[in-house]
């Protein structure tokens, strides 16, 4: 499970996935800047710098981490990897600290080009909340059509992202299921201006890479996951 808090990834993993993740980071020449053993020390905001690894975490550790991130800016923090023996309990604790909202979206392809949209100053992917009783697959297709005007065929699920944001004094945790899609008809392609979408564009790989420099970490994670699966237990 990867959660984005203030656009920074927080990974909750078990011991086996932690070993695979370390191999992945080492291959990219990225290492942990801080290693904290939750059994030995107290989690402090001063330790949240660079890429942080927390070992032997419990649900209480997760709650403490969320509290620190919600009440402190921690500008030098890049990511946190939380290794816990009981991953399910840690995930349930994390979810219990927020109001969970379910959403779905799509990565749409037309040949070798990908559909991106520019909204509120950032390049983004079409997505939106599920209506009551609606499945994620149905919602993903509906949202793509509403936000871009493009008719699509839905294929396999790519990944699931979780990200937090404040709303009316509450902390929201949005779960978004992402699907691979193929364009069927873009003759009525147009941005949904009522949702602050300024423009939409088909981009080749080179343009996508440039656009992602002005996007969100969670969106980069989704696009990276199109061809690369995240580590699992």
pLDDT tens digits, residue range 19-74?
666 666 555 555 788 888 999 878 888 889 999 999 899 999 999 999 998 888 88
Report the distance separating Cα 124 and Cα 103, nearest Å: 15
Report the distance separating Cα 27 and Cα 5, nearest Å: 25
> What is the gyration radius of the CA atoms in the chain, in angstroms?
19
Pick from 91, 99, 141, 119: nearest CA to 216: 119
100-225 CATH, one of 3.40.720.10, 3.90.79.10, 3.40.980.10, 2.60.40.10 = 3.90.79.10
pLDDT tens digits, residue range 161-210?
999 987 777 789 999 999 999 999 999 999 999 989 999 999 999 999 99
Pick from 115, 95, 97, 118: nearest CA to 105: 115
Parse the chain into domains and list their residue ranges. Answer: 2-96, 100-225
Pick from 138, 137, 8: nearest CA to 70: 8
């Amino acid at each position: 499970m990867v959660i984005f808090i203030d656009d920074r990834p927080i990974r909750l993993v078990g011991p086996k996935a932690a070993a695979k993740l370390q191999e992945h980071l080492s291959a990219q020449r990225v290492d942990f800047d801080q290693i904290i053993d939750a059994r030995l020390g107290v989690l402090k905001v001063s330790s949240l710098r660079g890429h942080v690894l927390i070992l032997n975490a419990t649900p209480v550790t997760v709650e403490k981490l969320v509290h620190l991130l919600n009440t402190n800016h921690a500008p030098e923090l890049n990511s946190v990897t939380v290794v816990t023996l009981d991953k399910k309990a840690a995930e349930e604790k994390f979810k219990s600290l927020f109001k969970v909202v379910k959403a779905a979206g799509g990565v749409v392809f037309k040949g070798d080009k990908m559909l991106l949209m520019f909204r509120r100053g950032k390049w983004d992917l079409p997505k939106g909340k599920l209506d009551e009783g609606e499945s994620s697959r149905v919602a993903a297709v509906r949202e793509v059509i509403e936000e871009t005007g493009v008719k699509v065929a839905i294929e396999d699920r790519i990944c699931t992202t979780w990200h937090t944001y404040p709303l009316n004094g509450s902390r929201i945790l949005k779960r978004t299921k992402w699907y691979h899609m193929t364009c069927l008809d873009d003759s009525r392609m147009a941005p949904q201006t009522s949702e602050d979408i300024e423009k939409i564009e088909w981009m080749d790989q080179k343009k996508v890479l440039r656009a992602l420099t002005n996007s969100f970490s969670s969106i980069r994670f989704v696009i990276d996951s199109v061809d690369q699966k995240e580590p699992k237990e």
